[in-house]
Amino acid sequence: AAPQRTRHEAHPPSHLFYQGRQRRPLIDRADGLYIWDVHGRCYLDGSSGAMVSNIGHSNPHVLQAMQAQMARATFAYRLHFENAPAEELAARVADRLPGDLDRVFFVSGGSEAVESAIKLARQWAVATDQDSRWKVITRQPSYHGSTLGALAITGYEPLNAPFRPMMREMPAIPAPTAYLDRDALSMEERGRRYADLLADEIERQGPDSVLAFIMEPVGGASTGALVAPDSYYTRVAEICRHYGVLLIYDEVMSGAGRTGAFVAAEHWGITPDIMVLSKGFAAGYAPLGAMAAPGRLVEPVLDAGGFLHGYTYAGNPLACAAGLAVLEEIDRKHLIDNAAIRGTSLLQRLAELKERFPFIGDVRGKGLLTAIELVADRETMAVLPPSLNAHARVVELAYERGLIVYSRRTRGGMEGDHIMVCPPMIVTEAQLDELVGMLAAALAAFAR
Ligand code: PMP
């Protein structure tokens, strides 16, 4: 069937462009889980934007904190003035992160945070006489950002292909999938086998050339909320330690409470060498991201002449004031506990949808980072034909019913269409009913 045109597609000519020709309505206002367009239509924000608006929209405490900061100073260049919100936020983040991750560098988004991690790792290697180490092993599929450095460690063929001549693409190993070998091997054994692919790749590349390994502990846009077997996390950390390879956790999507822990690393008791945060960290109130690392990585770089890296807006007082207030709100409302509790309930509801719709092949996630995967055949987990554009079709059908969800078709021969179901961490049981009801209606329409 031809894709149904929504009423939003008719749009006046515009000077603005983003990814495609599809246009969306103008936003009027947002509050909590809901967004209104200028036509007065109300939408439930079922994926928190792109897993960003973790504490909901228009939170009065955050707005007040930002207004108070705005009345004092919105910007001061960090090489001219330090600012108290940045100092305090760094201290709180250091306090919350596992192990020795107590040195914090602020940026304005996820890609910048990932770039910063790569550049810190490399400068640490140079400063400690390990110049031969420069390769950053990544996973296929994965998503780490859109700047050329972050893209070079992103395993997502359609995004990489046009830029190949311009970037030094890094080696990749397959990310664990939800279903490969699922009957043949125990979970633990699968986790170890996938982790051992990292050891094989380090050997193939030459251990002295490998600088770091980067992974999303719970997959985001790349693998659709994929959680690996427990053994994967511990074994990957052991392999990195064995080879002196830095372990970088990209918690841009999984961090700031969404999985039911402040960072997903806590679920497995892992302290990576470097961690990056963004998205839910300032929850859409300001562009903010962070890279955290231990003193043992940062000090040699500072001793060797300084960290050759920076962004004009890094650590600006307004963004940091927003980040601080978001953290306060997460604590005050016990939103991390709520993410864990509602997440369990959401997974149960999605499992019920799987009973109802045979084209749902898998339901997965941790806390409120969850997804459903659409397949042609649940037994073989064969993917739906790309021409069907199933994930985008379901998103449109949900949109028409007032539900906003985020979807992806990730290939690389492994994953198919998936739809992220990731409401803000303030979601109530009644709102989960509402969300899943609208999603069920969209899936029923898709089935017709
Ligand atoms: N890493 C991960 C895991 C992400 O999900 C994203 C964004 N989807 C990024 C990095 C890049 O973040 P940004 O779009 O803020 O640059």
Per-residue pLDDT tens digits for 393-419: 999 999 999 999 999 886 544 567 999
Shared domain for 206 and 348, answered yes or no, is no
Shared domain for 359 and 298, answered yes or no, is no
Is 9 a domain residue? Answer: no
**Cα–Cα distance, 75 to 82 (Å, whole number):** 10
Rounded mean pLDDT, 187-202: 94
Looking at residue 347, its pLDDT comes to 98
Q: Tell which wins on pLDDT, 84 or 181.
A: 84
Residues with CB under 6 A from ligand 1: 50, 109-111, 114, 143-145, 216, 220-221, 250, 252-253, 278
Atom of ligand 1 nearest to the CA of 50: 8
Shared domain for 181 and 313, answered yes or no, is yes
Looking at residue 185, its pLDDT comes to 81
For residues 292 and 97, the answer to whether their CB atoms sit within 8 Å is: yes
**Residue range 247-274, pLDDT digits in tens:** 999 999 999 999 999 999 999 999 999 9
**Residue range 317-366, pLDDT digits in tens:** 999 999 999 999 999 999 999 999 999 999 999 999 999 999 999 999 99
Radius of gyration of the chain (CA): 22
Looking at residue 180, its pLDDT comes to 60
Shared domain for 427 and 294, answered yes or no, is no
**Alpha carbon nearest to ligand 1 atom 13, residue:** 110
Say yes or no to pLDDT of 82 above 50.
Answer: yes
Shared domain for 262 and 347, answered yes or no, is no
In this structure, what token pair is assigned to residue 20? 């495609």
Say yes or no to pLDDT of 1 above 70.
Answer: no
Ligand 1 centroid – CA 442 distance (Å): 27
**Cα–Cα distance, 236 to 239 (Å, whole number):** 5
Looking at residue 220, its pLDDT comes to 87
Q: Which of 330, 347, 367 is the last residue of a domain?
A: 330
Is 164 a domain residue? Answer: yes
CATH number where 406 lies? 3.90.1150.10
The residues, any chain, with a CB within 8 Å of residue 363's CB and separated by 6 or more, are 347, 350, 351, 353, 354, 370, 371, 372, 373
Identify which of 48, 116, 148, 253 to mutate to test ligand 1's pocket (most ligand atoms within 8 A of the CB). Answer: 253
Is 437 a domain residue? Answer: yes
Q: Which of 308, 330, 352 is the last residue of a domain?
A: 330
Measuring CA to CA, how many Å separate 269 from each of 74, 80, 272, 368?
38, 39, 10, 20
Q: pLDDT band for 386, please (50, 70, 90 cuts).
A: confident
Say yes or no to pLDDT of 197 above 60.
Answer: yes
Say yes or no to pLDDT of 12 above 80.
Answer: no
What angle (nearest 5°) sits at the alpha carbon of residue 42, between those of residues 40 and 48?
135
- The whole-model pTM stands at 0.96
Identify which of 48, 52, 111, 407 to mutate to test ligand 1's pocket (most ligand atoms within 8 A of the CB). Answer: 111
Q: Tell which wins on pLDDT, 200 or 223.
A: 200
Shared domain for 230 and 93, answered yes or no, is yes
Q: How many CA atoms lie within 13 A of 403 on its CB side?
A: 28
**Residue range 295-313, pLDDT digits in tens:** 999 999 999 999 999 999 9
Query: From the centroid of its chain, how far is CA 94?
Result: 20
Percent of the chain with pLDDT strictly greater than 90: 83
Say yes or no to pLDDT of 279 above 80.
Answer: yes
Q: pLDDT band for 17, please (50, 70, 90 cuts).
A: confident
Looking at residue 186, its pLDDT comes to 86
Q: Which of 330, 352, 387 is the last residue of a domain?
A: 330
Say yes or no to pLDDT of 5 above 50.
Answer: no
**Residue range 118-148, pLDDT digits in tens:** 999 999 999 999 999 999 999 999 999 999 9
**Residue range 143-171, pLDDT digits in tens:** 999 999 999 999 988 889 999 999 999 99
Shared domain for 31 and 146, answered yes or no, is no
Shared domain for 435 and 416, answered yes or no, is yes
Is 19 a domain residue? Answer: no
* Phi, psi torsion values for 226, nearest 5 degrees: -70, 130
Looking at residue 22, its pLDDT comes to 80
ipTM of the complex, rounded to two decimals = 0.99
**Alpha carbon nearest to ligand 1 atom 5, residue:** 253
Q: Tell which wins on pLDDT, 197 or 7.
A: 197
Atom of ligand 1 nearest to the CA of 150: 10
**Residue located via tokens 């305090």:** 88
Count of the separate structural domains present in the chain: 2
CATH number where 218 lies? 3.40.640.10
Looking at residue 415, its pLDDT comes to 62
Instruction: Give the mean pLDDT of the chain.
Output: 93
**Cα–Cα distance, 446 to 4 (Å, whole number):** 11
Shared domain for 408 and 298, answered yes or no, is no
Looking at residue 232, its pLDDT comes to 97
Shared domain for 42 and 179, answered yes or no, is no
Say yes or no to pLDDT of 3 above 50.
Answer: no
Rounded mean pLDDT, 72-90: 95
Rounded mean pLDDT, 5-34: 80
**Residue range 218-253, pLDDT digits in tens:** 998 888 899 999 999 999 999 999 999 999 999 999
Ligand 1 centroid – CA 109 distance (Å): 7
Is 207 a domain residue? Answer: yes
Rounded mean pLDDT, 386-394: 91
Residue 284 belongs to what domain range?
Answer: 75-330
Is 210 a domain residue? Answer: yes
Shared domain for 309 and 355, answered yes or no, is no
**Cα–Cα distance, 416 to 394 (Å, whole number):** 14
Shared domain for 40 and 165, answered yes or no, is no
Is 60 a domain residue? Answer: no
Is 66 a domain residue? Answer: no
